[in-house]
Structure 1
């Protein structure tokens, strides 16, 4: 995991600069109030940078232990995986490393997949992959399955940069994840995962933000709290 963190130009990166413009340019619903979106977007960029820097400052050995605890929490949540497809991701910039979990899911009779960026402005695709299968470089040098076998996962594990009590996810800002969920014919179970230190009071969700079903951290599971809902058009004050 440490080796991955030390090669920032090799693996996944913020997918594009679409997060610096109106979400409508990425094919997502636009904000009801442009000034509110400008304020929220500026705040999100600042928080994103802060949270990524904070997790990279954590020793790799500690992140590895946290990743193991997060993986154990995910196993407890998803239960029997036989006959089901679980999609995860390739770890980047201090994200929890779930590659051992993917191998365990395969041993338990499940199938595993990785997300594939097709191009800017389009939903992600999911392609089957398990440990030992060849990888190739996709868009922005993200490792993707070398053999394309597109599937619709039953469970999607998504890393979060930050999250709130309503299980809204702060990501890298490209809009790919929300766009993907909105386009899927049937919504999978969506589990966000990250470190407990990344919890925020709110991410100020907008119309294009889609909450996770739950968030798993190294200290436990966060389930949506109805009282944590906030206005989708609230501007920062």
Structure 2
């Protein structure tokens, strides 16, 4: 059975900054915010936009624990050859039965289904869509993607030791960054809970020059980079991998 969109929760990390010295390890995904585990809060938002939620849990042991909390979801473990969230994301994309997927990290408990719908709509013309703040900070871990395009990027990265979600933004041909302040979203919707001290903190928009959505269009096909003149890759992830220059 196919679905219009897949919802993905990335929950395979070790949450090191969330731990307290001398305390047994705490799974941040299960930590309650206003009485509800973070993973369940995000799951409920994703269910507003999709009947197919996939949880990249990192291991089968954690999947069993999460299943008791959220119930009806598909669980996947990490893919070999990739590192960190990219590994879980690729596994989830292969489990996705839709052309479009939207992914959220498990430590973003205030995420809004309205924002995710907005991002999904933009995939009609772009391979990758994420929110951007007025100061230019891109919240790369919240991402809507065209499934086949994202898989093509991630497969090219297998075995290279890459670990950042931002590699998708740097490697895809067509990217849009949504100015969420301009569109009227509360800044709390993309707040990460990295440390326990982050819980309950108010959020405000930083000052900055961004005043509108940003579009990045690159002239190449990820599925066939062979034979493309090197200069056409300049400014992309593939230029960095080809030349070793991290600033281009």
Larger Rg: 2
Q: TM-score, normalised by structure 2?
A: 0.32
| TM-score, normalization by structure 1 | 0.32
